[in-house]
Structure 1
């Protein structure tokens, strides 16, 4: 019969021995992060274990990570518990609860004398050097003693080498009997700080926790600041532990537009946007910028407050007086109508800047000018408009087409053409006639010019063709839901209405339908290629192991922990089932039906 190794968790001195050491230098306290790890025992935290009683350690994390577990004795000695030579795999899956011992080759027993003992866990999402170093040590020696000086070892051998994403947790228990307890009231200024006591996360301040009498320490986190307070608990009493954080009084000043000079209480402090620390109380801020009216605001800021001031500076206005020749033209500024310029001119009030000013008058060419206005400036401009008229002689083939110029109906062409008077410039002419395609031409005519325009209207062709190929061939073809034939190796030619969107569907047994929407122009032949994908068959695979909680790998990829149920496409796979303390089982998994069950019995390593 094989014997299990008994690991004795012994406290060699009384609990008060911790008074000679600084707990804050022994216990690792993490910063709040996305990685979370928890450790607990088979009894509630702070429970009493009697001498000879078995002890189990449980742990889990919310991400896949590597873990270390060690115990801290009251005499300052640290012993590595996991990984060890019996349970060496310290890479754990997320949200899975693990139990130590994993192997049946050893067990934990509690030994005298009476006192308090800590169990600390460290987790890291990457295989950092300290993880590798302690894993190598733990798997070569039987539960090695890491150090007899806990403070020195933690401060110099562990903490400096924790990097990347890491977290920790801690729990404790008593041997023989529990000490008397008191209460710690945890406060912070301001409130809402994260607080850990002896490395254990308590919550946000204010918080209240019951503790055994003696030395403790609390670590407070607020924004980017951290405070650690050491305190003593007296049995039956409440001790107040307070962390005070520095609260700056800040002022953020923004202006529209930015770049304004900022004066605070009459003193220049810089250019906006700007942030500055100020004294609590009443203040006045002034913003100035050339070409803009100054903006000012008075306000009160409370101690520790961050206040934001937004000031809008309005540009100083300018005056523009616009004349047109002849008078009466419509005036547009940056494309927006602003009024009619009479003989006395049109007066406009504008913000400083550059503008495009345009005059429009029927029978005249538009006139425009670009003008730049400075703050407070008064400017006068005159826009002179030139008369404009030209003649277009329009002929069509065939005759009798309806003619539209710039969207306006003009008349019907005759054998002698159709004459129309237009302003000089570019014009769009559309000729329409039943049975023929609408035809559009664009012409440019100068002032006083007579131009001949010849337009030929093509007859309307109302159908086109689809040449349809499929891969694989011989698929049945449906156009707009109507069966039209089979697309063989040379394809399938189908006549369809032009200028209409058609839906083409290819169907073939054991393949997914393929479809496309297509449109053809009159008399056009368009090629359509449709590829049909085979229908993928999927089966549900149930994998069980004895014992359970074994890791399952499919084709080398971790899929989960038994019992496991997953869907796989039909085919053949390599199945590997692994559990610490047992031989790995490698099987060939064939999925050829809707439901496949696999049961694996793991053989313990002798």
Structure 2
């Protein structure tokens, strides 16, 4: 028994001696530590690309080796540090984060205006401001003698933001009577009354034009911040043509342009309602009347200012034979209206003269074209109408 105890004691001593000779100790295997801090605090820690918490943070039980510590915080540039961690060692690091600032360029018309951001004067326009952290800012631009302008800008990243402040002039435009088209330098801006707020400073030509009135022009000089008013008193320059036609549904051209089509009076196609046409006074106007199947006609009209000229125009119908009915008694050239269920034919033999061919008497029915000799008069009228309508 004593021999066994001696053997065990000697074996334990031998093992301890071997460990000491190998350079080991009883505290080996606990790893290393990294203590990470930042200014400001609250930065996310990434250790070799893996998130490891937020600063300040003590990271323990790390195996020996190389580590890259990355810190991220909204509104700040990322910070990096690489270390070599030894077994059992502690490493302290404290990184200062550099705040990301935006770029803001403020311009104004006129230049030289004072720029105030968060109640602090930052310079005069044009001003390039480079020290503002990312975020939203109220901006006030002050120009001597003009109302101050306010705006809000958002600096989201390093991309430059440009703020243009224009003390645009404001011009109220009225026309008498109202409703005139207002053009600025040839560009239509709207219908009077209106307010012009998008016209740059400088000299401009204003034009007011309204149907039945003489156009008027005015020159204006717009200065920054100007509030002004312009009036156009337009003079009437037109009279009125009141025209009705027989039949209705006649196209009315004024100086070569289709104006309107006359409408039936009380539902009857035989005569139209009066059509009112405003014409510039003191000059001749060519009026042309067109309806298919009728002779076209034209007239020249001139009015004085506020004068009403009345015209009643009757268009001659062009009668075209389209059917030849051969009966036991005669040959009938006519314009066919319709065929009845009993086989009878209802036709117009002459303009306004209607009759019926009995089925029992009919030997043959054939079509007649416009080229038929019977339609010589119709062809002549059609050609005359074409000539009178040349230029439409």
Is the helix fraction higher in 1 or 2?
2
TM-score (norm 1): 0.29
The structure with more radius of gyration: 2
TM-score (norm 2): 0.41
